[in-house]
Amino acid sequence: MEQITAFFAARGDLLLLAAVFLAVASLTFAFGTITASWSGVRRRVNAGTASTGAAAVTAPAASVQRSSGPDYLKGLMPTDETKKSELVKFLNSAGYYGDRALVLFQASRIGVALLCGMATAALFGRLYPGKPLIFTIAAAVVLTAIGYMLPRAVVSVRRDKLFEEHRQGFPDFLDLLVICVEAGIGVDSAMERISRDLARDYPSLARNLGFMSLEMRAGKSTREALDNLGVRLGIPEAKSFSTLIRQSEELGTSLVQSLRVYSEEMRQKRLARAEEKAFALPVKLVLPLGFFIFPVVLGVTLVPVVIKLFTALGISKGQ
Domain ranges of the chain: 1-42+84-160, 165-271
Rounded to 5 degrees, what are φ and ψ at 253?
Answer: -80, 170
- Of the pLDDT bands very low, low, confident and very high (cuts 50, 70, 90), residue 153 is very high
Confidence of residue 313 (pLDDT cuts 50, 70, 90): confident
Alpha-carbon dihedral 255, 256, 262, 268, rounded to 10 degrees: 180
Can you give the pTM of this predicted structure? 0.63
In angstroms, the CA 29 to CA 22 distance is 10
- How many C-beta neighbours within 10 Å does residue 179 have? 16
pLDDT score recorded for residue 75: 58
Look at residue 128 in the predicted model and tell me its pLDDT.
Answer: 76
Q: Report, as an integer, the average pLDDT of 57-67.
A: 35
Residue in 22, 40, 133, 132 with CA at minimum distance from that of residue 78: 40
Q: Write the CB contacts of 201 (distance below 8 Å, at least 6 apart in sequence).
A: 169, 172
Of the candidates 159, 173, 158, the one whose C-alpha atom is nearest the C-alpha of residue 237 is 173
pLDDT tens-digit map of 215-271:
888 888 878 888 888 888 888 888 888 888 888 777 777 778 888 888 888 888 888
> Which pLDDT score is estimated for 52?
35
pLDDT tens for 92-119 read 888 888 778 888 888 888 888 888 888 8
Q: Is the pLDDT of residue 39 over 50?
A: no
